[in-house]
């Protein structure tokens, strides 16, 4: 049928598809602005109207994507669309770009066409309403008040997965919303490897007699912290003409190549927390900034997927921001903002890399224990969606797994299963991409180190241009031109693997903790 | 045909229309959030993406509104839709509400459906291009470089009017985009009355020997001005849980009953300017807050039109914020924020009401001369659209009329016919609503004074509850339930008239200037 359709292709079918997709993308980006506003600016009372606005955008986007005409154009153009794995053509070869556009729009079209508009609207409405419920449940430490909403969201997302593909396990289907090309088997294999390798490594760190520096024992003014975060963004090369920094309860980054914003939050007892979170979100924003302007409104101007996105944030956070070289550069800036703190580069490096085995909170976790927080969430959400775990059991299972993986137990659900926003967003299948991103960050950083002359020396000298260029050239500028495995292999000359990450943490924490 | 259609009406046609309109409204409100963000938050570089997002929302909204199904539903329901002038039924009577919804959606549908998409796009493109041309022409004081674009916009809007209704004068048709139910004859009659009565009054003020106080001769810190603006919003009863205050280059208010925001700007030489502008925008926001929550997403939850909206801002700005009673209440707050200023209630009252006869700029005009700026613009734009005035003649006619009405002549077009953004937006017919709103504000305030026990005394005591309730009951809660003339007559027991406004200015300025 593809061949038949190709012969009847109208000359401007591709132009029409691009125009149509441009509108779809415009509506989607408008929704992102509304989400940013909701988290950062919107007054409390705005929720009911905002929910309905977002539901309308979501429905409109869904209708455009699933429209018969979209399907017809894709069919007309399908002769020009090779299968997803033929990535051997040149990146800039027009027919390759066109095939990628058709592949990506088709994937979205098919997924959306299978889900009834009413269900899409119900999910959008329920998640908007769930947000304040989750916020209050967390503030009040009352899982029971969040449980009914969570149950409803699990049911809605199972129903969604059933519509997309009734023949595959629903969690596998949901995972593809965030990570369409790295299959769930690969993801599970990597997460299992992390559990197997990191649990004993964390135990060795726990048993180590080494005591790393911890010079930040006072209270640190939020305004000075914000100034420090802005210093960091300046130093790393954030494009302020195309972005802004604000505070949000749950830091995130969002936007387009023309306007990629960063948020952070300030804890007066932990000045490096906000700094590292800012660098993390900077990594996301710099990926968005690196997408090609002239691809805006097409898949060629959109980021690949969440794992790749997270690889950019983790690369900047962990491989730059937590490196000895960075602290040789940046420790004096900390000293400027907090003159009372007695911390040189080595002390800052140590505190930025302390392993907190008894930490309960994912977003405060160190580079090592972080992944156990993810493995735990992955196992719980997978079982929830599979139907192997009741919502009511979540707090108990959560606490048991914390004990098993990290040897600690939360006293309160607010520090346990209520800590993250994701499930209130209806995002099941999202968490694994955090760890996959960290693993990919290590692989990309190792490749950049091979390609660039003395990357550490560049960091020490605040020369971030070559790293930005390398990442833009290897990752950002391609948008969705390649599938994730293709992109990884082209960027690093190797298939996706956990080895560089495991090497990185063994080396770093081995040295730090004298293992 | 209406009767025939009514007999075949499906039971849920009205529900379907509401759902469809809810989506249209949701998309429109999303665009408002994007506009707010663009004016208040967006980094400079964001414009290209934002323009495309707004174009996508505008196209989607237009498609939904003009969709055949929208027309079919309206036809089905038209048996239930009495003509616009049957407003005798009770406000809360369901069939009356339903008829109003059908009337309002039909009006929007018909106007949108009659204009070809190409023309809508041409107008959108031309106005986008006109904006920077106007900005530069104003900056360079070169009317000639703006003239060709203005000519094109006049031609396009004439063509637009021709499509909407070829049988009526084009300016009348354009005026209805902003003011659908107050017919142009009424508007013209009122504007003529203003000209006839105000020109001699302004002359008498000019000739008066009275010199009003002007105690604000220093420089006033923007942070303290913002604190004062927040004091004013607190005092007047702004609902912060459903709003926020920010700064914007051109102050405006936008939002929904759940989230109606206010912006202002600070001029360090003019602290009362920002305060009055904040109170003005507060009036707009309080109208939006007063719309019924449960009408959200339907015409019953939307504001009537621009004149009614402006009546709310002008009522709070001029009849509350510029009253002696308000300054007895609020002068001490000014003193708190600016301890160096020696201004009691009387001095504040006087400076808030100074007439600046030699002012050339509309947005800096006082309560009295303001309307001559509007009359002048109305006469010019009406004649342009009628074809009675060439674009090339605009500067000459502008300057002559300024001389005739206010006794001043701009030296430069940048302070003359290039000062306002409206025509570069293609907005012809918008200006009159500013004066109509002021006139209506006076009529509403006079009615409220009759109904409420000692309104001035309430203002002096910061008891704004009764006035809020009166306005909500008489105006806000009805949304678009009634046409504008119906709404005015129900609210004030009198037809729309310039008399209360003329009484108000005669009394106030007569006393102030000892006329």
The whole-angstrom separation of Cα A483 and Cα A473 is: 16
- Within 8 A of B293 by CB-CB distance, chain A residues are 48
- Within 8 A of B42 by CB-CB distance, chain A residues are 259
Band of pLDDT at residue B124, cut at 50, 70 and 90: confident
In 3D space, the residue among A434, A303, A411, A424 whose CA is nearest the CA of residue A358 turns out to be A411
> Quick one: closest CA in A to B63, which residue?
A60
- Flag whether pLDDT at B391 surpasses 90: yes
The whole-angstrom separation of Cα A137 and Cα A155 is: 20
How far away is chain B from the Cα of A261, in angstroms, using its nearest Cα? 9
Band of pLDDT at residue B480, cut at 50, 70 and 90: very high
Tokens 């009691």 identify what position? B344
Residues forming beta bridges with residue A245, ordered by sequence position: A262
The whole-angstrom separation of Cα A423 and Cα A362 is: 14
A49 contacts B33? CB cut-off 8 A: no
The whole-angstrom separation of Cα A345 and Cα B96 is: 74
Scored b (16 or more CB within 10 A) or e, B480-497 reads: bbbbbbbbbeebbeeebb
How far away is chain A from the Cα of B460, in angstroms, using its nearest Cα? 30
The dihedrals phi and psi of A254, each to the nearest 5 degrees, come to -155, 160
In 3D space, the residue among B297, B282, B277, B296 whose CA is nearest the CA of residue B233 turns out to be B282
Residues of chain B that touch chain A, judged by Cβ-Cβ distance less than 8 Å: 22-23, 25-27, 29-31, 33-34, 37, 41-50, 52-57, 59-60, 64, 239-244, 255-259, 261, 293, 296-297
The whole-angstrom separation of Cα A229 and Cα A225 is: 6
In 3D space, the residue among A365, A286, A280, A352 whose CA is nearest the CA of residue A322 turns out to be A352
DSSP designation for A409: -
- Of B87 and A396, the structure prediction assigns the larger pLDDT to A396
pLDDT of residue B86: 44
How far away is chain B from the Cα of A27, in angstroms, using its nearest Cα? 6
User: What's the mean pLDDT when you consider all of chain B?
Assistant: 94
| Average pLDDT rounded to a whole number, residues B290-303 | 98
In 3D space, the residue among A496, A383, A357 whose CA is nearest the CA of residue A435 turns out to be A496
In 3D space, the residue among B196, B419, B174 whose CA is nearest the CA of residue B306 turns out to be B174
Count chain A–chain B contacts defined by CB atoms under 8 A: 126
Q: Do residues A142 and A416 make contact, with C-beta atoms less than 8 angstroms apart?
A: no
Instruction: Write out the two tokens for B315.
Output: 């009522």
The whole-angstrom separation of Cα A343 and Cα A228 is: 15
> Quick one: closest CA in A to B25, which residue?
A53
Band of pLDDT at residue B357, cut at 50, 70 and 90: confident
B26 contacts A57? CB cut-off 8 A: yes
Residues forming beta bridges with residue A253, ordered by sequence position: A262
- Flag whether pLDDT at B89 surpasses 80: no
Which of A22, A24, A26, A233 has the most B C-beta neighbours within 10 Å, making it the best mutation to test the interface with B?
A26
pLDDT of residue A121: 80
In 3D space, the residue among B195, B183, B161, B165 whose CA is nearest the CA of residue B386 turns out to be B161
Q: How many other β-carbons are positioned within 10 Å of the β-carbon of residue A78?
A: 20
- Flag whether pLDDT at B437 surpasses 70: yes
Q: Who among A26, A46, A48 is closest to B53 (CB)?
A: A26
The whole-angstrom separation of Cα B146 and Cα B133 is: 6
B25 contacts A258? CB cut-off 8 A: no
Element (H, E) at B504: helix B499-512
Element (H, E) at A158: helix A143-164
Which of A20, A21, A22, A52 has the most B C-beta neighbours within 10 Å, making it the best mutation to test the interface with B?
A52
| Contacts of A469 by beta carbon, 8 Å cutoff, 6+ apart | none
Q: Who among A26, A52, A241 is closest to B44 (CB)?
A: A241
Q: Who among B42, B52, B60 is closest to A60 (CB)?
A: B60
In 3D space, the residue among B392, B416, B418, B427 whose CA is nearest the CA of residue B136 turns out to be B418
B33 contacts A34? CB cut-off 8 A: yes
Residues forming beta bridges with residue B263, ordered by sequence position: B246
How far away is chain B from the Cα of A258, in angstroms, using its nearest Cα? 5
The dihedrals phi and psi of A400, each to the nearest 5 degrees, come to -65, -45
Q: Do residues B241 and B288 make contact, with C-beta atoms less than 8 angstroms apart?
A: no
pLDDT of residue A117: 79
B259 contacts A43? CB cut-off 8 A: yes
Residues forming beta bridges with residue A254, ordered by sequence position: A261
Tens-binned pLDDT, residue by residue, of chain A (515 aa): 344 444 455 669 999 999 999 999 999 999 999 999 999 999 999 999 998 999 899 889 999 999 999 999 999 998 644 444 444 445 456 679 999 999 999 999 999 999 987 898 899 889 888 989 999 999 999 999 999 999 999 999 999 999 999 999 999 999 999 999 999 999 999 999 999 999 999 999 999 999 999 899 999 999 999 999 999 999 999 999 999 999 998 899 999 999 999 999 999 999 999 999 999 999 999 999 999 999 999 999 999 999 999 999 999 999 999 999 999 999 999 999 999 998 999 999 999 999 998 899 998 899 999 999 999 999 999 999 999 999 999 999 999 999 999 999 999 999 999 999 999 999 999 999 999 999 999 999 999 999 999 999 999 999 999 999 999 999 999 999 999 999 999 999 999 999 999 999 999 999 999 99
Which of B18, B30, B263 has the most A C-beta neighbours within 10 Å, making it the best mutation to test the interface with A?
B30
A29 contacts B53? CB cut-off 8 A: yes
The whole-angstrom separation of Cα B204 and Cα B197 is: 11
B421: helix, strand or coil: coil
**Of the listed A39, A152, A179, A281, which one is catalytic?**
A281
pLDDT of residue B10: 62
The whole-angstrom separation of Cα B337 and Cα B388 is: 52
How far away is chain B from the Cα of A465, in angstroms, using its nearest Cα? 21
B242 contacts A26? CB cut-off 8 A: no
Half-sphere exposure of B213 (CA within 13 A, CB side): 14
B45 contacts A53? CB cut-off 8 A: no
pLDDT of residue A390: 97
Residues of chain A that touch chain B, judged by Cβ-Cβ distance less than 8 Å: 22-23, 25-27, 29-31, 33-34, 37, 41-50, 52-57, 59-60, 64, 239-244, 255-259, 261, 293, 296-297
Q: Who among B47, B59, B259 is closest to A42 (CB)?
A: B259
Catalytic residue IDs of B: 281
- Within 8 A of A56 by CB-CB distance, chain B residues are 22-23, 25-27, 30
Name all domains of chain A by residue range, CATH numbers in brackets: 2-170 (no CATH), 184-512 (1.10.1370.30)
How far away is chain B from the Cα of A21, in angstroms, using its nearest Cα? 10
Print the SS3 string covering A486-514: HHHHHHHCCCCCCHHHHHHHHHHHHHHCC
A60 contacts B23? CB cut-off 8 A: yes
The whole-angstrom separation of Cα A345 and Cα A510 is: 19
- Within 8 A of B44 by CB-CB distance, chain A residues are 241
Q: What is the ipTM of this complex?
A: 0.92
CA atoms B404, B408, B413, B419: torsion sign: negative
Alpha helical stretches, state H, B291-338: 306-314, 324-337
> Quick one: closest CA in B to A44, which residue?
B241
Model-level pTM? 0.92
A259: helix, strand or coil: strand
Q: Do residues B414 and B141 make contact, with C-beta atoms less than 8 angstroms apart?
A: yes
> Quick one: closest CA in B to A118, which residue?
B19
| Average pLDDT rounded to a whole number, residues B321-337 | 97
DSSP string covering B37-99, please? HHHHT--GGGHHHHHHHHHHHHHHHHHHHH-HHHHHHHHHHGGG---TT---S-TT-HHHHHH
DSSP designation for B259: E
Q: Who among B240, B244, B296 is closest to A49 (CB)?
A: B296
A56 contacts B22? CB cut-off 8 A: yes
A429: helix, strand or coil: coil
Q: CA of A289: how far to CAs of A442, B37, B410, B502, in Å?
A: 21, 19, 46, 57
Q: Do residues B385 and B170 make contact, with C-beta atoms less than 8 angstroms apart?
A: yes
How far away is chain B from the Cα of A38, in angstroms, using its nearest Cα? 10
């Amino acid at each position: 049928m593809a061949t038949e359709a190709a012969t009847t292709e109208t000359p401007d079918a591709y132009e029409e598809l691009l125009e149509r997709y441009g509108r779809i993308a415009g509506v989607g980006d408008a929704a992102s602005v509304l989400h940013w506003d909701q988290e950062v600016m919107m007054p409390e009372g705005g929720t009911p109207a905002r929910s309905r606005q977002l539901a309308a955008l979501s429905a409109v986007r869904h209708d455009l994507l699933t429209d018969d005409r979209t399907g017809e154009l894709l069919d007309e153009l399908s002769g020009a669309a090779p299968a997803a794995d033929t990535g051997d053509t040149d990146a800039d070869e027009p027919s390759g770009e066109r095939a990628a556009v058709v592949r990506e729009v088709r994937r979205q079209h098919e997924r959306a066409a299978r889900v009834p508009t009413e269900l899409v609207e119900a999910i959008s409405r329920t998640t908007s309403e769930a947000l304040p419920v989750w916020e209050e449940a967390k503030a009040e430490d009352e899982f029971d008040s969040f449980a009914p909403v969570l149950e409803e969201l699990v049911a809605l997302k199972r129903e969604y997965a059933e519509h997309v593909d009734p023949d595959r396990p629903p969690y596998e289907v949901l995972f593809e919303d965030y990570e369409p090309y790295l299959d769930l088997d690969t993801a599970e294999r990597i997460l299992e490897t992390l559990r197997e390798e990191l649990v004993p490594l964390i135990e060795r760190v726990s048993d180590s007699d080494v005591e790393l520096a911890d010079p930040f024992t006072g209270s640190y003014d939020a305004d000075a912290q914000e100034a420090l975060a802005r210093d960091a963004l300046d130093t790393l090369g954030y494009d302020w003409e195309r972005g802004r920094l604000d505070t949000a309860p749950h830091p995130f980054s969002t936007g387009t190549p023309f306007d990629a914003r960063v948020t952070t939050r300030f804890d007066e007892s932990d000045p490096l927390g906000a700094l590292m979170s800012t660098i993390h979100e900077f990594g996301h924003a710099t990926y968005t900034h690196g997408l090609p302007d002239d691809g805006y409104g097409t898949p060629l101007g959109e980021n690949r997927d969440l794992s790749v996105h997270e690889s950019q944030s983790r690369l900047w956070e962990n491989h730059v921001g937590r490196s000895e070289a960075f602290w040789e550069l940046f420790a004096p800036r900390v000293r400027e903002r907090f003159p009372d703190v007695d911390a040189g580069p080595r002390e800052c490096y140590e505190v930025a890399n302390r392993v907190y085995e008894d930490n309960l909170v994912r977003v405060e976790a160190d580079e090592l224990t972080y992944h156990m927080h993810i493995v735990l969430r992955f196992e719980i959400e997978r079982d929830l969606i599979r139907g192997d775990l009741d919502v009511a059991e979540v707090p108990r299972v959560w606490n048991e797994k914390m004990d098993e993986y990290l040897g600690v137990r939360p006293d309160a659900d607010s520090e346990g299963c209520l800590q993250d926003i994701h499930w209130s967003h209806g995002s099941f299948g999202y968490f694994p991409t955090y760890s996959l991103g960290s693993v990919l960050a290590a692989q990309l950083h190792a490749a950049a180190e091979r390609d660039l002359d003395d990357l550490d020396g560049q960091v020490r000298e605040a020369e971030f241009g070559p790293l930005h260029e390398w990442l833009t050239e290897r990752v950002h500028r391609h948008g969705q031109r390649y599938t994730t495995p293709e992109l990884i292999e082209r960027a690093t000359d190797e298939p996706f693997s956990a080895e560089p990450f495991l090497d990185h943490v063994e080396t770093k924490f081995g040295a730090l903790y004298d293992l």
